[in-house]
Amino acid sequence: MNQMTNAIDTCFAALRKQGKAALIPFVSAGDPDVKTSLKVCEVLIENGADLIEIGFPYSDPIADGPVIQASYTRALANKLKSTQIWDLAKAIGSLAVYEKRPVPLVAMASYSLILRQGVENFLNHAKEAGFSGFIVPDLPWDESKDLGKAIESRGLKLIQLVTPTTPLERAVNIAKASGGFLYCVSISGITGERKDLPPALIERLKALKCQSTTPLCVGFGISQPDQAGMLKGHCDGIIVGSALVRQFVRFTNEPAEKVLADIGSFCSSMRNALDN
């Protein structure tokens, strides 16, 4: 087993000691441009983000709803390249606020993108850029062994996903195999904001916690502070995507300072809901 220290493990260990849950915002890289993505990440760190999930725009997303799909489309229309995402990650690591409070970066990337660039090439670039882990949504756990070994050999983490339709026994096995944390999809369906979370979600989290020590982070549908508050104590982190990404289209016709301020306020409200 690889014993290299990983920033994701360090982050969750520190949060556990503080009795806190992780706030993990999702940022689709390059929407509307890489420079603005960097400013967004800076604001997120300033307002309480513990990890940041960086989405690699892809033309055929697996489970992304219309908000994230539209964001990916805008980034791809601007001819975004993976080299620019590596540069973005490096730039995040050079931010003054990052140096004061390092925030692990997790890549959300389709396996098709990884294969196209070559697994070794992609992973080497990712590590050099400063990524600590990967979420590969279109690679089932049963088929991820080889990629997992390649990732672990670099001291990085392959984060697995479970959904409400994953049988509990299988979900427990996936949780035990997942690196960094387990991505617990809260709903059946695509990403997107929801007014309510499924009542069965809490019981599902309790069952997983009883049988695995892997941190559990809930994503899909989390868009409001009251939802974050509801999950407090039941999971180790929340992932916020569409509610944040929805703001990015505003950069095209509103002052960037106003949009960034609103993003900061939203992130802060989610942080406070988790803490209080």
The per-residue b/e assignment along 135-159, b for 16 or more CB within 10 angstroms, e otherwise, is bbbbbebeebeebbebbbebebbbb
169: its two tokens: 């026994």
Residue ranges in the chain modelled with pLDDT below 50 = 1-2, 189-194
Q: Whose structure tokens read 């944040």?
A: 244
- CATH C-level class of 20-270: alpha beta
Distance in angstroms (rounded) separating the CA atoms of residues 26 and 51: 9
- Which pLDDT score, from 0 to 100, does residue 254 have? 97
CA-CA-CA-CA dihedral for 160, 165, 169, 172, to nearest 10: 30
Q: Which residues are known to be catalytic? A: 53, 64
Q: Whose structure tokens read 């396996």?
A: 111
Domain positions in the chain are 20-270
Distance in angstroms (rounded) separating the CA atoms of residues 86 and 91: 9
- Amino acid, res. 262: D
Distance in angstroms (rounded) separating the CA atoms of residues 195 and 66: 17
HSE-up of residue 40 (Cα within 13 Å, Cβ side):
29
The per-residue pLDDT for range 126-156, each reduced to its tens digit, is: 999 999 999 999 999 999 999 999 999 999 9
Report the side by side order of strands in the sheet with 157-159: 157-159, 131-135, 105-108, 52-55, 22-28, 237-240, 216-219, 182-185, 161-162
Distance in angstroms (rounded) separating the CA atoms of residues 241 and 220: 7
Distance in angstroms (rounded) separating the CA atoms of residues 208 and 176: 10
Q: Whose structure tokens read 């069965």?
A: 200
